[in-house]
Amino acid sequence: MKKIKFIVVAGSSGGHIFPALKYLNNLTNIKKPNEILFITNEVGVNYLSKIKSNEINKLIINSKNKLFFIYKIFLNLMFILLMNRKITLIGFGGFITTPVLLFSKLFNFFFLSSNKIYIHEQNFIYGLANRINYMIVKNSFISFPKTNMRSKEIFVGNFFLEKKKLIQKVHDETFNVLLIGGSSGSLDLNNIMLKEIKMLNRDHLAKIKFFIQLPESHFEIYKKKYSDIVDINQCNFFSFRDNLDPQEYDFILSRSGSGSINEILYYSNNVHFIPHLISRDKHQKYNLNYFLSRKMTLKKIFIPNKKNFVSQYYFNSFINPHSIEKIICYTTR
């Protein structure tokens, strides 16, 4: 890694990693892959197979111990930053971006480097890491439009994972219900779903197929809970899938992370979002309020008892399918 021109940093969650991967893959169309470095943590390992070019350099450091992570970043980046005085860096969110971007900024001051530093914020409000990062960056690429933008902000639109867009899709005769909430954030969503389906009549319940996200450690516990209400053969449990298509489901119960909320609302408004409020900034609550104020999603849980193909398709006008390409234009010029 003696010659590095671009460093991309992302970790901690799929919401940070997916836009970073698209940026990496699109960047290789115009830049040499072996001059690009992707820095991630133990979460990012699950997504490395989505990087198209094997020539992209990768640095994976466990971030569970934050002090150890900072120490390892310092050791690994020291040589790279000394050998390359003009690197373009972009952080896509999460704690791991801050030490990387900060070290590169320090090199600008003390070693007369010319590193250009950017961040991408996919949520309605800045997370803690990006609030710190904002102070040292050249530009911040934001996903939600604002009336009063700050001096460094550039609106690029919401990140979008392309799928084949169909207004109508052939379904079987069952009602397909999807529950997604992340590997750990889905437990309370499952408790809400269990409470809701207890109130359905047996004839309606017998026509539903459930696709349920759960941590693997809780499979057996929740299989028992669902089997007390519904035929367990109607339930499909999974811990992670990256190929879910919102068009296949008649109702979706989901967290309101920026990636989930935008992608689902591009295809369907048959969804009820519940924000994950564990994070200190409660960014999922603000994401959801933005769309609720524009009446772009259901306010109450409603599991339909008949299919309506036309109402399943919904166009989210805040999506910009070219948002990542816009970022590349700014970071490569």
Pairing mode, strands 88-91 and 251-254: unpaired
- Segment holding 4, helix H or strand E: none
Contact 320, 156 (CB under 8 A): yes
User: Tokens for 109?
Assistant: 């001051």
* 189: CB partners within 8 A, 6+ apart: 179, 181, 253, 254, 255, 274
Residue type, 147: T
pLDDT of residue 167: 46
Beta bridge partners of 178: 211, 252
CATH number of 6-158+320-332: 3.40.50.2000
pLDDT tens for the chain, 333 residues long, are 679 999 999 988 888 898 999 999 999 999 999 999 999 999 899 889 999 999 999 999 999 898 999 999 999 999 999 999 899 999 998 899 999 999 999 999 999 899 999 999 999 999 999 999 999 999 999 999 988 999 999 999 987 666 554 444 545 678 899 999 875 568 899 999 999 999 999 999 999 999 999 988 899 999 999 999 999 999 999 988 877 888 888 899 999 988 888 888 888 888 899 998 777 788 999 999 988 888 888 778 888 777 765 454 566 777 787 899 999 999 998
**pLDDT number for residue 278:** 75
Is-contact 274 187, C-beta < 8 A? Answer: no
Q: Give me the residue label for tokens 């309605």.
A: 124
E-only strand ranges, 103-203? 116-121, 139-142, 153-155, 175-180
Identify the burial level of 136 via C-beta atoms within 10 angstroms of its C-beta, where 0-12 means exposed, 13-18 middle and 19 or more buried: middle
Q: Which fold, 175-312?
A: Rossmann fold (3.40.50)
| DSSP string computed for 11-46 | -SSHHHHHHHHHHHHHHTTTS-GGGEEEEE-TTGGG
d(CA 164, CA 12) in angstroms, rounded, equals 28
Does the fold of domain 175-312 match that of domain 6-158+320-332? yes
Q: Per-residue pLDDT tens for 204-231?
A: 999 999 999 998 889 999 999 999 999 9
Q: Which of 55, 146, 59, 137 is nearest to 92 (CA)?
A: 137
Domain extent listing, the chain? 6-158+320-332, 175-312
Closest listed residue to residue 244, CA positions, set 274, 226, 264, 268: 264
Chain length of the chain: 333
How far is 202 from 205, CA to CA, in rounded Å? 5
Going 122 to 11 to 165 to 289, the CA torsion angle's sign is negative
Cβ–Cβ contacts within 10 Å for residue 9, how many?
Answer: 29
